[in-house]
Structure 1
Amino acid sequence: MDGPLLAPAAANRRSGATQDGRGCLLLDGGLASELERAGHDLNDPLWSARVLLEDPAAVEGVHRAFLEAGADCITTATYQATFQGLAARGLTADEAERLLLRAVELAVRARDRFCAESARPHRPLVAASIGPYGAYLADGSEYRGDYGLGRAALAGFHRRRWEVLARSGADVLLCETLPALEEARALAALAREGAARA
Protein backbone atom coordinates (compact mmCIF):
# COMPACT_ATOMS: atom_id res chain seq x y z
CA MET A 1 0.00 0.00 0.00
CA ASP A 2 1.38 3.44 -0.93
CA GLY A 3 0.22 4.88 2.38
CA PRO A 4 -2.55 4.20 4.79
CA LEU A 5 -5.20 5.48 2.42
CA LEU A 6 -5.40 6.07 -1.32
CA ALA A 7 -7.94 8.42 -2.80
CA PRO A 8 -10.14 6.69 -5.39
CA ALA A 9 -8.45 8.48 -8.30
CA ALA A 10 -5.00 7.38 -7.10
CA ALA A 11 -6.20 3.83 -6.63
CA ASN A 12 -7.67 3.83 -10.14
CA ARG A 13 -4.41 5.06 -11.67
CA ARG A 14 -2.48 2.44 -9.72
CA SER A 15 -4.61 -0.47 -10.88
CA GLY A 16 -5.68 0.76 -14.30
CA ALA A 17 -9.15 -0.29 -13.20
CA THR A 18 -11.05 2.44 -14.99
CA GLN A 19 -10.93 1.89 -18.70
CA ASP A 20 -13.74 4.24 -19.70
CA GLY A 21 -12.12 7.48 -18.54
CA ARG A 22 -15.12 8.32 -16.33
CA GLY A 23 -13.72 6.98 -13.07
CA CYS A 24 -16.20 4.12 -12.82
CA LEU A 25 -15.06 1.28 -10.56
CA LEU A 26 -17.24 -1.80 -10.09
CA LEU A 27 -17.14 -2.96 -6.47
CA ASP A 28 -17.98 -6.53 -5.55
CA GLY A 29 -21.43 -7.37 -4.26
CA GLY A 30 -22.52 -8.66 -0.87
CA LEU A 31 -19.81 -11.00 0.40
CA ALA A 32 -22.01 -12.00 3.32
CA SER A 33 -25.02 -12.61 1.06
CA GLU A 34 -23.00 -14.95 -1.14
CA LEU A 35 -21.60 -16.80 1.88
CA GLU A 36 -25.16 -17.27 3.18
CA ARG A 37 -26.28 -18.44 -0.26
CA ALA A 38 -23.52 -21.07 -0.04
CA GLY A 39 -25.00 -22.33 3.22
CA HIS A 40 -23.02 -20.48 5.89
CA ASP A 41 -24.92 -19.26 8.95
CA LEU A 42 -23.91 -15.65 9.58
CA ASN A 43 -26.27 -15.07 12.49
CA ASP A 44 -23.29 -14.26 14.67
CA PRO A 45 -21.70 -11.13 16.17
CA LEU A 46 -18.72 -11.69 13.82
CA TRP A 47 -20.98 -11.93 10.74
CA SER A 48 -18.86 -12.87 7.68
CA ALA A 49 -15.68 -12.91 9.79
CA ARG A 50 -17.08 -16.09 11.33
CA VAL A 51 -16.45 -17.81 8.00
CA LEU A 52 -12.82 -16.64 8.10
CA LEU A 53 -12.48 -18.81 11.20
CA GLU A 54 -14.52 -21.78 9.98
CA ASP A 55 -14.12 -21.97 6.19
CA PRO A 56 -11.60 -19.51 4.73
CA ALA A 57 -11.66 -21.32 1.37
CA ALA A 58 -15.31 -20.29 1.01
CA VAL A 59 -14.34 -16.63 1.45
CA GLU A 60 -11.66 -16.95 -1.21
CA GLY A 61 -14.16 -18.66 -3.51
CA VAL A 62 -16.63 -15.78 -3.20
CA HIS A 63 -13.85 -13.29 -3.98
CA ARG A 64 -13.03 -15.29 -7.10
CA ALA A 65 -16.68 -15.42 -8.15
CA PHE A 66 -16.99 -11.63 -7.92
CA LEU A 67 -13.85 -11.19 -10.00
CA GLU A 68 -15.23 -13.57 -12.62
CA ALA A 69 -18.44 -11.53 -12.61
CA GLY A 70 -16.43 -8.39 -13.50
CA ALA A 71 -15.66 -6.70 -10.17
CA ASP A 72 -12.83 -4.16 -10.32
CA CYS A 73 -12.47 -4.23 -6.54
CA ILE A 74 -13.07 -6.97 -3.98
CA THR A 75 -13.68 -6.32 -0.28
CA THR A 76 -12.15 -8.34 2.56
CA ALA A 77 -14.25 -10.14 5.16
CA THR A 78 -13.11 -7.76 7.89
CA TYR A 79 -16.13 -5.46 8.23
CA GLN A 80 -17.03 -6.96 11.60
CA ALA A 81 -13.62 -8.42 12.47
CA THR A 82 -12.49 -6.20 15.34
CA PHE A 83 -9.93 -6.93 18.01
CA GLN A 84 -12.66 -6.49 20.60
CA GLY A 85 -15.14 -8.81 18.88
CA LEU A 86 -12.51 -11.47 18.24
CA ALA A 87 -11.38 -11.27 21.88
CA ALA A 88 -14.97 -11.92 22.92
CA ARG A 89 -14.78 -15.07 20.75
CA GLY A 90 -11.66 -16.15 22.66
CA LEU A 91 -8.91 -15.07 20.26
CA THR A 92 -5.78 -13.43 21.57
CA ALA A 93 -4.66 -10.12 20.09
CA ASP A 94 -1.99 -11.95 18.07
CA GLU A 95 -4.55 -14.43 16.75
CA ALA A 96 -6.90 -11.58 15.84
CA GLU A 97 -4.11 -9.82 13.96
CA ARG A 98 -3.28 -12.99 12.05
CA LEU A 99 -6.96 -13.39 11.14
CA LEU A 100 -7.14 -9.84 9.75
CA LEU A 101 -4.01 -10.45 7.71
CA ARG A 102 -5.41 -13.80 6.55
CA ALA A 103 -8.55 -12.06 5.27
CA VAL A 104 -6.43 -9.77 3.10
CA GLU A 105 -4.24 -12.68 2.01
CA LEU A 106 -7.33 -14.59 0.81
CA ALA A 107 -8.51 -11.64 -1.28
CA VAL A 108 -5.04 -10.93 -2.70
CA ARG A 109 -4.55 -14.60 -3.57
CA ALA A 110 -7.95 -14.79 -5.27
CA ARG A 111 -7.10 -11.65 -7.25
CA ASP A 112 -3.61 -12.80 -8.20
CA ARG A 113 -4.78 -16.25 -9.31
CA PHE A 114 -7.60 -14.67 -11.28
CA CYS A 115 -5.18 -12.28 -13.01
CA ALA A 116 -2.80 -15.12 -13.86
CA GLU A 117 -5.62 -17.10 -15.47
CA SER A 118 -7.58 -14.36 -17.20
CA ALA A 119 -6.96 -11.96 -20.04
CA ARG A 120 -8.33 -9.00 -18.11
CA PRO A 121 -6.45 -5.82 -19.04
CA HIS A 122 -6.25 -4.42 -15.51
CA ARG A 123 -5.44 -5.65 -12.02
CA PRO A 124 -8.46 -5.46 -9.68
CA LEU A 125 -8.06 -3.79 -6.31
CA VAL A 126 -8.33 -5.37 -2.87
CA ALA A 127 -10.11 -3.16 -0.33
CA ALA A 128 -9.65 -3.93 3.36
CA SER A 129 -13.06 -3.34 4.92
CA ILE A 130 -13.39 -1.38 8.15
CA GLY A 131 -16.90 -1.38 9.54
CA PRO A 132 -18.21 1.04 12.16
CA TYR A 133 -18.13 0.65 15.93
CA GLY A 134 -21.80 -0.33 15.77
CA ALA A 135 -20.93 -3.43 13.73
CA TYR A 136 -18.95 -4.68 16.73
CA LEU A 137 -22.00 -4.09 18.95
CA ALA A 138 -24.09 -6.17 16.50
CA ASP A 139 -27.27 -4.49 17.68
CA GLY A 140 -28.22 -2.43 14.63
CA SER A 141 -26.55 0.74 15.94
CA GLU A 142 -24.26 0.69 12.89
CA TYR A 143 -27.24 2.24 11.11
CA ARG A 144 -28.09 4.77 13.84
CA GLY A 145 -24.69 5.83 15.18
CA ASP A 146 -26.04 6.47 18.67
CA TYR A 147 -23.07 4.98 20.50
CA GLY A 148 -22.49 7.78 23.00
CA LEU A 149 -18.73 7.78 22.26
CA GLY A 150 -16.54 10.71 21.34
CA ARG A 151 -13.93 10.95 18.62
CA ALA A 152 -11.00 9.88 20.84
CA ALA A 153 -12.79 6.74 22.04
CA LEU A 154 -13.80 5.84 18.48
CA ALA A 155 -10.26 6.37 17.20
CA GLY A 156 -9.00 4.16 20.02
CA PHE A 157 -11.47 1.45 19.07
CA HIS A 158 -10.38 1.47 15.40
CA ARG A 159 -6.65 2.17 15.76
CA ARG A 160 -5.14 -1.32 15.99
CA ARG A 161 -7.30 -2.79 13.21
CA TRP A 162 -6.50 0.25 11.04
CA GLU A 163 -2.77 -0.17 11.63
CA VAL A 164 -2.84 -3.89 10.82
CA LEU A 165 -4.91 -3.45 7.66
CA ALA A 166 -2.80 -0.47 6.52
CA ARG A 167 0.27 -2.72 6.32
CA SER A 168 -1.59 -5.82 5.14
CA GLY A 169 -1.01 -5.60 1.40
CA ALA A 170 -4.51 -4.34 0.59
CA ASP A 171 -4.64 -1.63 -2.07
CA VAL A 172 -7.07 0.60 -0.15
CA LEU A 173 -8.82 0.79 3.20
CA LEU A 174 -12.59 0.98 2.84
CA CYS A 175 -14.46 2.53 5.75
CA GLU A 176 -18.05 1.38 5.36
CA THR A 177 -21.47 2.25 6.78
CA LEU A 178 -20.29 5.05 9.07
CA PRO A 179 -23.51 6.43 10.56
CA ALA A 180 -21.96 9.17 12.69
CA LEU A 181 -19.86 12.16 11.68
CA GLU A 182 -17.66 11.77 14.78
CA GLU A 183 -16.71 8.27 13.66
CA ALA A 184 -15.87 9.48 10.16
CA ARG A 185 -13.71 12.21 11.72
CA ALA A 186 -11.97 9.65 13.95
CA LEU A 187 -11.12 7.45 10.96
CA ALA A 188 -10.00 10.47 8.92
CA ALA A 189 -7.66 11.38 11.78
CA LEU A 190 -6.21 7.85 11.71
CA ALA A 191 -5.66 8.22 7.96
CA ARG A 192 -3.85 11.53 8.47
CA GLU A 193 -1.68 10.01 11.23
CA GLY A 194 -0.71 7.15 8.92
CA ALA A 195 0.02 9.50 6.02
CA ALA A 196 2.24 11.62 8.25
CA ARG A 197 4.27 8.54 9.25
CA ALA A 198 4.60 7.27 5.65
Structure 2
Amino acid sequence: MSAIKISIIDGGFSTQLSTHVGDKIDGDPLWTARFLATHPEAVMATHLDFLRAGAEIILTNTYQASIEGYAEHLDMTESESLHLIHKAVDLADEAVRIYMKETRSEERPLIAGSCGPYGASLHDGSEYTGSYAGSVTRGFLKEWHRPRIEALINSGVDILALETIPCATEAEALVELLKEYPSTKAWITFSCRTDGRSIVDGSDFRRTALASYKSAIPGQIVAVGINCIAPSIAASFFEGINDGEGFLPLVLYPNSGETYTVAEGWRKLGCEPQLENFIHQWLDLGVRYVGGCCRTGAKDVSKIKKEVEKWVGKKKRDSECC
Protein backbone atom coordinates (compact mmCIF):
# COMPACT_ATOMS: atom_id res chain seq x y z
CA MET A 1 0.00 0.00 0.00
CA SER A 2 1.50 3.34 -1.10
CA ALA A 3 1.65 6.19 1.41
CA ILE A 4 -1.36 8.50 1.39
CA LYS A 5 -0.40 12.11 0.64
CA ILE A 6 -2.16 14.74 2.74
CA SER A 7 -1.41 18.37 1.88
CA ILE A 8 -1.71 20.99 4.61
CA ILE A 9 -3.16 24.32 3.49
CA ASP A 10 -2.66 27.58 5.38
CA GLY A 11 -5.29 29.29 7.56
CA GLY A 12 -7.44 32.41 7.49
CA PHE A 13 -5.33 35.13 5.90
CA SER A 14 -7.17 38.07 7.44
CA THR A 15 -6.96 36.55 10.92
CA GLN A 16 -3.19 36.11 10.74
CA LEU A 17 -2.64 39.38 8.87
CA SER A 18 -4.33 41.27 11.71
CA THR A 19 -1.49 40.22 14.02
CA HIS A 20 0.85 42.28 11.86
CA VAL A 21 -1.20 45.33 10.87
CA GLY A 22 -3.65 45.75 13.74
CA ASP A 23 -5.97 47.58 11.34
CA LYS A 24 -9.60 46.79 10.79
CA ILE A 25 -9.70 44.31 7.91
CA ASP A 26 -13.16 42.75 7.95
CA GLY A 27 -15.71 45.07 6.43
CA ASP A 28 -13.29 46.65 3.96
CA PRO A 29 -14.66 46.33 0.39
CA LEU A 30 -11.26 45.04 -0.75
CA TRP A 31 -10.74 42.99 2.42
CA THR A 32 -7.12 41.79 2.67
CA ALA A 33 -6.44 42.59 -1.01
CA ARG A 34 -6.02 46.27 -0.06
CA PHE A 35 -2.88 45.39 1.90
CA LEU A 36 -1.05 44.35 -1.25
CA ALA A 37 -0.89 48.07 -1.97
CA THR A 38 -0.58 49.45 1.56
CA HIS A 39 1.33 46.84 3.63
CA PRO A 40 3.13 44.37 1.33
CA GLU A 41 5.67 43.52 4.03
CA ALA A 42 2.84 42.41 6.34
CA VAL A 43 1.40 40.22 3.56
CA MET A 44 4.74 38.45 3.17
CA ALA A 45 5.11 38.10 6.95
CA THR A 46 1.69 36.45 7.09
CA HIS A 47 2.70 33.90 4.46
CA LEU A 48 5.84 33.18 6.48
CA ASP A 49 3.81 32.63 9.64
CA PHE A 50 1.84 29.89 7.92
CA LEU A 51 4.90 28.28 6.37
CA ARG A 52 6.68 28.18 9.72
CA ALA A 53 3.55 26.64 11.26
CA GLY A 54 3.66 23.74 8.79
CA ALA A 55 1.59 24.83 5.78
CA GLU A 56 2.63 23.02 2.61
CA ILE A 57 0.39 25.16 0.41
CA ILE A 58 -0.03 28.92 0.88
CA LEU A 59 -2.76 30.89 -0.87
CA THR A 60 -2.05 34.21 -2.53
CA ASN A 61 -3.70 37.26 -1.00
CA THR A 62 -6.04 37.70 -3.98
CA TYR A 63 -9.37 36.31 -2.80
CA GLN A 64 -11.11 39.69 -3.12
CA ALA A 65 -8.79 41.21 -5.71
CA SER A 66 -10.43 42.33 -8.95
CA ILE A 67 -9.91 44.94 -11.63
CA GLU A 68 -13.27 46.54 -10.81
CA GLY A 69 -12.57 46.59 -7.08
CA TYR A 70 -9.16 48.19 -7.42
CA ALA A 71 -10.53 50.74 -9.89
CA GLU A 72 -13.36 51.74 -7.56
CA HIS A 73 -11.56 51.73 -4.22
CA LEU A 74 -7.92 52.48 -5.09
CA ASP A 75 -8.45 54.42 -8.34
CA MET A 76 -6.21 52.00 -10.24
CA THR A 77 -6.11 51.32 -13.95
CA GLU A 78 -6.54 47.80 -15.32
CA SER A 79 -2.78 47.39 -15.80
CA GLU A 80 -2.08 48.63 -12.26
CA SER A 81 -4.65 46.21 -10.86
CA LEU A 82 -3.15 43.27 -12.73
CA HIS A 83 0.33 44.31 -11.57
CA LEU A 84 -0.90 44.16 -7.96
CA ILE A 85 -2.16 40.61 -8.53
CA HIS A 86 1.25 39.68 -9.96
CA LYS A 87 2.78 41.27 -6.87
CA ALA A 88 0.69 39.01 -4.64
CA VAL A 89 2.35 35.97 -6.22
CA ASP A 90 5.78 37.58 -5.89
CA LEU A 91 5.21 38.14 -2.16
CA ALA A 92 4.17 34.52 -1.65
CA ASP A 93 7.17 33.35 -3.66
CA GLU A 94 9.52 35.50 -1.59
CA ALA A 95 8.08 34.02 1.61
CA VAL A 96 8.70 30.52 0.24
CA ARG A 97 12.26 31.46 -0.67
CA ILE A 98 12.95 32.81 2.84
CA TYR A 99 11.37 29.76 4.46
CA MET A 100 13.41 27.33 2.39
CA LYS A 101 16.59 29.20 3.22
CA GLU A 102 15.69 29.10 6.93
CA THR A 103 14.88 25.40 6.99
CA ARG A 104 17.17 24.18 4.19
CA SER A 105 14.19 22.15 3.07
CA GLU A 106 14.44 20.24 -0.18
CA GLU A 107 10.67 20.16 -0.67
CA ARG A 108 9.28 23.47 -1.86
CA PRO A 109 5.88 24.54 -0.50
CA LEU A 110 3.31 25.23 -3.21
CA ILE A 111 1.63 28.53 -4.02
CA ALA A 112 -2.09 28.43 -4.77
CA GLY A 113 -3.65 31.36 -6.59
CA SER A 114 -6.71 32.34 -4.56
CA CYS A 115 -9.80 33.13 -6.64
CA GLY A 116 -12.88 34.14 -4.70
CA PRO A 117 -16.33 34.17 -6.33
CA TYR A 118 -17.91 37.05 -8.19
CA GLY A 119 -20.07 37.67 -5.11
CA ALA A 120 -17.03 38.56 -3.00
CA SER A 121 -16.38 41.59 -5.22
CA LEU A 122 -19.92 42.85 -4.62
CA HIS A 123 -19.20 43.24 -0.90
CA ASP A 124 -22.74 42.31 0.04
CA GLY A 125 -22.21 38.85 1.52
CA SER A 126 -23.56 37.13 -1.59
CA GLU A 127 -20.74 34.58 -1.57
CA TYR A 128 -22.72 33.19 1.39
CA THR A 129 -26.08 33.29 -0.41
CA GLY A 130 -25.48 32.90 -4.15
CA SER A 131 -28.20 35.51 -4.68
CA TYR A 132 -26.71 36.63 -8.00
CA ALA A 133 -27.02 33.17 -9.59
CA GLY A 134 -30.20 34.07 -11.47
CA SER A 135 -29.05 37.47 -12.69
CA VAL A 136 -25.71 36.64 -14.35
CA THR A 137 -24.87 34.26 -17.16
CA ARG A 138 -22.19 31.60 -17.34
CA GLY A 139 -20.51 33.63 -20.08
CA PHE A 140 -20.41 36.75 -17.93
CA LEU A 141 -18.83 34.85 -15.05
CA LYS A 142 -16.18 33.34 -17.32
CA GLU A 143 -15.17 36.77 -18.59
CA TRP A 144 -15.20 38.28 -15.11
CA HIS A 145 -12.90 35.59 -13.70
CA ARG A 146 -10.57 35.47 -16.72
CA PRO A 147 -8.22 38.46 -16.02
CA ARG A 148 -7.34 37.41 -12.49
CA ILE A 149 -6.94 33.74 -13.39
CA GLU A 150 -4.68 34.64 -16.33
CA ALA A 151 -2.63 36.98 -14.13
CA LEU A 152 -2.15 34.28 -11.50
CA ILE A 153 -1.25 31.62 -14.07
CA ASN A 154 1.17 33.94 -15.86
CA SER A 155 2.78 34.78 -12.50
CA GLY A 156 3.64 31.12 -11.99
CA VAL A 157 1.32 29.81 -9.30
CA ASP A 158 1.46 26.05 -8.83
CA ILE A 159 -2.30 25.58 -8.59
CA LEU A 160 -5.50 27.63 -8.47
CA ALA A 161 -7.78 27.69 -5.43
CA LEU A 162 -11.31 28.44 -6.69
CA GLU A 163 -12.93 29.26 -3.39
CA THR A 164 -16.27 29.82 -1.68
CA ILE A 165 -18.24 29.20 -4.88
CA PRO A 166 -21.91 29.74 -3.96
CA CYS A 167 -23.77 28.64 -7.09
CA ALA A 168 -23.64 25.81 -9.60
CA THR A 169 -23.57 28.25 -12.54
CA GLU A 170 -20.32 29.78 -11.35
CA ALA A 171 -18.72 26.35 -10.86
CA GLU A 172 -19.70 25.42 -14.42
CA ALA A 173 -18.24 28.68 -15.73
CA LEU A 174 -14.95 28.10 -13.92
CA VAL A 175 -14.59 24.52 -15.15
CA GLU A 176 -15.20 25.72 -18.72
CA LEU A 177 -12.66 28.53 -18.28
CA LEU A 178 -10.03 26.16 -16.90
CA LYS A 179 -10.19 24.11 -20.08
CA GLU A 180 -8.58 27.05 -21.87
CA TYR A 181 -5.52 26.50 -19.67
CA PRO A 182 -5.11 22.71 -19.85
CA SER A 183 -1.77 22.57 -18.02
CA THR A 184 -3.20 24.43 -15.00
CA LYS A 185 -4.50 22.45 -12.03
CA ALA A 186 -7.07 23.67 -9.51
CA TRP A 187 -9.33 22.73 -6.66
CA ILE A 188 -12.88 23.99 -6.22
CA THR A 189 -14.46 24.62 -2.83
CA PHE A 190 -18.09 25.58 -2.33
CA SER A 191 -19.94 27.84 0.04
CA CYS A 192 -22.50 25.56 1.71
CA ARG A 193 -25.59 25.69 3.89
CA THR A 194 -25.71 24.03 7.29
CA ASP A 195 -28.04 21.23 6.12
CA GLY A 196 -25.29 18.78 5.12
CA ARG A 197 -26.61 18.62 1.56
CA SER A 198 -26.69 21.93 -0.30
CA ILE A 199 -24.47 24.70 -1.53
CA VAL A 200 -25.93 28.07 -0.66
CA ASP A 201 -27.88 28.58 -3.91
CA GLY A 202 -29.82 25.39 -3.10
CA SER A 203 -27.99 23.11 -5.53
CA ASP A 204 -27.11 19.64 -4.29
CA PHE A 205 -23.49 19.70 -3.09
CA ARG A 206 -22.53 16.16 -4.09
CA ARG A 207 -24.08 16.40 -7.54
CA THR A 208 -22.49 19.79 -8.21
CA ALA A 209 -19.07 18.80 -6.85
CA LEU A 210 -19.01 15.52 -8.79
CA ALA A 211 -20.15 17.25 -11.99
CA SER A 212 -17.33 19.78 -11.63
CA TYR A 213 -14.78 17.01 -11.14
CA LYS A 214 -16.01 14.80 -13.98
CA SER A 215 -16.64 17.53 -16.55
CA ALA A 216 -13.12 18.96 -16.24
CA ILE A 217 -10.15 17.79 -18.25
CA PRO A 218 -9.07 14.54 -16.54
CA GLY A 219 -6.66 15.36 -13.75
CA GLN A 220 -7.15 19.13 -13.96
CA ILE A 221 -9.35 19.35 -10.85
CA VAL A 222 -7.25 17.82 -8.07
CA ALA A 223 -10.01 17.98 -5.44
CA VAL A 224 -13.48 19.33 -4.72
CA GLY A 225 -14.88 20.33 -1.36
CA ILE A 226 -15.88 23.10 1.00
CA ASN A 227 -14.34 26.09 2.70
CA CYS A 228 -15.55 28.49 5.39
CA ILE A 229 -17.98 26.11 7.08
CA ALA A 230 -18.29 25.19 10.75
CA PRO A 231 -16.03 22.21 11.55
CA SER A 232 -18.81 20.33 13.33
CA ILE A 233 -21.01 20.02 10.22
CA ALA A 234 -18.37 19.58 7.51
CA ALA A 235 -18.33 15.78 7.64
CA SER A 236 -22.07 15.54 6.97
CA PHE A 237 -21.43 16.67 3.38
CA PHE A 238 -18.79 14.00 2.81
CA GLU A 239 -20.20 10.93 4.54
CA GLY A 240 -20.60 8.10 2.04
CA ILE A 241 -19.21 10.10 -0.86
CA ASN A 242 -16.29 7.67 -1.26
CA ASP A 243 -18.10 4.46 -0.42
CA GLY A 244 -18.66 3.40 -4.02
CA GLU A 245 -16.33 2.68 -6.90
CA GLY A 246 -13.69 5.25 -7.66
CA PHE A 247 -12.25 7.84 -5.31
CA LEU A 248 -13.17 11.53 -5.18
CA PRO A 249 -10.34 13.55 -3.60
CA LEU A 250 -11.72 16.13 -1.19
CA VAL A 251 -10.47 19.49 0.02
CA LEU A 252 -11.66 21.13 3.22
CA TYR A 253 -10.68 24.26 5.08
CA PRO A 254 -13.37 25.25 7.57
CA ASN A 255 -13.69 28.38 9.67
CA SER A 256 -13.55 28.46 13.46
CA GLY A 257 -17.27 27.72 13.81
CA GLU A 258 -18.24 31.33 14.37
CA THR A 259 -20.99 32.95 12.27
CA TYR A 260 -20.49 35.98 10.02
CA THR A 261 -23.02 38.60 8.97
CA VAL A 262 -22.30 41.80 7.05
CA ALA A 263 -24.08 43.83 9.74
CA GLU A 264 -22.45 42.32 12.84
CA GLY A 265 -19.25 40.65 11.63
CA TRP A 266 -18.11 37.41 13.32
CA ARG A 267 -20.06 36.14 16.32
CA LYS A 268 -19.61 33.01 18.44
CA LEU A 269 -23.08 31.57 18.98
CA GLY A 270 -22.16 28.43 20.91
CA CYS A 271 -19.32 26.25 22.05
CA GLU A 272 -17.86 24.90 18.81
CA PRO A 273 -15.34 22.05 19.24
CA GLN A 274 -11.82 22.86 18.08
CA LEU A 275 -11.12 22.28 14.39
CA GLU A 276 -8.28 19.83 15.00
CA ASN A 277 -10.65 17.46 16.82
CA PHE A 278 -12.22 16.51 13.47
CA ILE A 279 -9.09 15.97 11.37
CA HIS A 280 -9.01 12.15 11.60
CA GLN A 281 -12.69 11.87 10.69
CA TRP A 282 -12.22 14.09 7.63
CA LEU A 283 -9.17 12.21 6.41
CA ASP A 284 -11.02 8.92 6.79
CA LEU A 285 -13.73 10.30 4.49
CA GLY A 286 -11.25 11.18 1.74
CA VAL A 287 -10.04 14.70 2.52
CA ARG A 288 -6.57 15.04 1.00
CA TYR A 289 -6.11 18.81 1.26
CA VAL A 290 -6.89 20.32 4.68
CA GLY A 291 -6.41 23.69 6.35
CA GLY A 292 -8.32 26.53 7.93
CA CYS A 293 -10.39 29.48 6.74
CA CYS A 294 -11.79 32.53 8.52
CA ARG A 295 -10.88 33.05 12.19
CA THR A 296 -8.12 30.44 12.07
CA GLY A 297 -4.45 31.33 12.24
CA ALA A 298 -0.94 29.92 12.26
CA LYS A 299 -1.46 28.22 15.62
CA ASP A 300 -4.39 26.30 14.15
CA VAL A 301 -2.26 25.18 11.20
CA SER A 302 0.30 23.78 13.66
CA LYS A 303 -2.46 21.78 15.37
CA ILE A 304 -3.77 20.53 12.03
CA LYS A 305 -0.28 19.40 11.03
CA LYS A 306 0.14 17.48 14.28
CA GLU A 307 -3.14 15.61 13.80
CA VAL A 308 -2.38 14.85 10.15
CA GLU A 309 0.97 13.36 11.15
CA LYS A 310 -0.76 11.19 13.76
CA TRP A 311 -3.28 9.91 11.20
CA VAL A 312 -0.66 9.22 8.54
CA GLY A 313 1.51 7.43 11.10
CA LYS A 314 -1.39 5.23 12.17
CA LYS A 315 -2.22 4.34 8.56
CA LYS A 316 1.41 3.39 7.98
CA ARG A 317 1.52 1.17 11.05
CA ASP A 318 -1.78 -0.48 10.13
CA SER A 319 -0.53 -1.27 6.62
CA GLU A 320 2.70 -2.75 7.97
CA CYS A 321 0.77 -4.97 10.38
CA CYS A 322 -1.36 -6.32 7.57
Report TM bin, short chain: 0.7 to 0.9
- Partner SS, residue 148 of structure 2: helix
4+ residue runs over 6 A deviation: none
Correspondence for 1:23: 5
Correspondence for 1:141: 126
> Any residues of structure 2 matched to 1:36-185 within 5 Å, and which?
36-38=18-20, 39-42=22-25, 43-89=27-73, 90-147=75-132, 148-185=135-172
Moved more, 33-42 or 128-137: 33-42
Any idea what the Cα deviations from partners look like across 1:110-142, whole Å, max 9, x if unmatched? Answer: 001111220434211001100000100011101
2:17 to 35, 48, 51: 35
Any idea what the Cα deviations from partners look like across 1:37-87, whole Å, max 9, x if unmatched? Answer: 330321311000011111000000010010000000001110000111111
How many residues were matched structurally? 178
More relative contact order in 1 or in 2 (CA 8 Å, sep 6+)? 1
Distance 1:159 1:111 in 2: 26
Whether the 8 Å CA contact 1:46–1:85 is kept in 2: the answer is: yes
- Gap runs ≥5 in structure 1: 1-19
- Partner SS, residue 180 of structure 2: helix
- Partner SS, residue 195 of structure 1: coil
Q: Percent of aligned pairs with the same residue?
A: 43
- Partner SS, residue 22 of structure 1: coil
- Gap runs ≥5 in structure 2: 185-322
How large is the Cα RMSD of the aligned pairs?
1.6
Whether the 8 Å CA contact 1:75–1:128 is kept in 2: the answer is: yes
Shift of residue 143, structure 1, vs aligned partner: 1.1
Distance 2:61 2:38 in 1: 13
Could you tell me the TM-score, scaled by structure 1's length? 0.86
Q: Does 1:189 align with 2:176?
A: yes
- Partner SS, residue 28 of structure 2: coil
Q: 1:122 to 1:159 in 2, by over 3 A?
A: same
- Partner SS, residue 57 of structure 1: helix
- Partner SS, residue 127 of structure 1: strand
- Partner SS, residue 78 of structure 1: coil
Report the structure, 1 or 2, having the larger strand content. Answer: 2
Structure with the greater alpha carbon radius of gyration: 2
Q: Give the counterpart letter for 2:65 in structure 1.
A: A
